Amino acid sequence: MNDRYGHQVGDEYLNQVALRMKRQIRPGDLLARLGGDEFAVIVTRVRKRTDVEEVAQRLKASFQPPVTVDGHSLSGSVSLGVALYPEDGGTDDQLLTAADGAMYAVKKLKDQR
């Protein structure tokens, strides 16, 4: 989007999508922008993996419908990876690495289809 519409439009798109994502997480969960178009969500009070998968599905849905910025209808998508403490890592870095690995594994499966 930055290349086509400029950084101001790209930044506003990210701001609007971040607000949508924030509305999809539960009280006590945390949404953080790591940089560029990369975000992390810390989901608290998890009893089973499906708790996190439900939040992930709501986050994916937050990219629909398109976002309108400066008269442009902008559509985006999301790639998600899930990591659980302590099964997938014991530190922040380990969990982020595991989530990245999970995300790339899903992307690879999609590319093979």
Catalytic annotation, residues:
37
Sign of CA dihedral 33, 77, 69, 65: negative
Residue 34: enclosing H or E segment and its boundaries? Answer: strand 30-35
SS3 111: helix
